[in-house]
Copies of this chain bind each other. A is one copy, B any other.
Amino acid sequence: MEKLDERKVKILQAIIRNYLETGEPVGSRTISKYTDLNLSSATIRNEMSDLEELGYIVQPHTSAGRIPSDKGYRLYVDTMMSDKIQEVEDMKEMLLEKADKMENLLKQVAKLLAVNTNYATLVTSPQYRSRKVKFVQLTEVDEEQLLAIIVIEGNIVKNKMIVLRDPVNSEIVLKMNLILNTFLQGLDPSEINLQIIKKIRDQVGGYYDLIGDLLDAITQAINEEEDIQTYLSGASNIFKYPELGDMQRASELLYALEEKKELSDFIAGKTSNDDETGIQVYIGTETPMEAMRDCSVVTATYQIEEGVFGKVGIIGPKRMDYEKVVGTLQTLITQLDDIFKKKT
Contacts and interface: CB of A to CB of B under 8 A. Distances in A.
A151 interface: yes
Given A235-B258, A236-B255, A251-B236, A155 B145 contact: yes
Contacts of A334: none
Interface string A222-248: 001100000001111001100001010
A105 to B, nearest CB: 12
A161 interface: yes
A250 B258 contact: no
B141 A101 contact: no
Contact of A225 (B101, B233, B234): B101
Given A149-B159, A235-B258, A239-B250, A100 B141 contact: no
A134 B141 CA distance: 8
B235 A254 contact: yes
A255 B239 CA distance: 10
Contact of A149 (B139, B155, B235): B139
B245 A258 contact: no
Contacts of A149: 137, 139, 147, 149, 157, 159
B239 A258 contact: no
A59 B40 CA distance: 58
B254 A236 contact: yes
Chain A contact residues (Cβ within 8 angstroms of B): what range? 20 to 34
B258 A224 contact: no
Contacts of A137: 137, 139, 149
A101 B103 CA distance: 15
Interface string A157-193: 1010100000000000000000000000000000000
Contacts of A240: 251
B258 A234 contact: yes
A247 B137 CA distance: 55
A134 B155 CA distance: 24
B151 A157 contact: no
Contact of A159 (B141, B157, B245): B157
Contacts of A157: 147, 149, 159, 161
A220 interface: yes
Contacts of A233: 258
A9 to B, nearest CB: 36
Given A155-B145, A239-B254, A255-B236, A101 B161 contact: no
Contacts of A139: 135, 137, 149, 151
A251 B234 contact: no
Nearest to A248: B239
A250 B235 CA distance: 12
A220 B251 CA distance: 41
Contact of A141 (B147, B155, B255): B155
Interface string A208-221: 00000000000010
Interface of A: 100-101, 134-135, 137, 139, 141, 145, 147, 149, 151, 155, 157, 159, 161, 220, 224-225, 233-236, 239-240, 245, 247, 250-251, 254-255, 258
6 contacts: A100-B220, A101-B224, A137-B137, A141-B151, A159-B159, A239-B251
- The 4 lowest CB-CB distance pairs between A and B, nearest first, are A239-B251, A236-B255, A236-B254, A157-B159
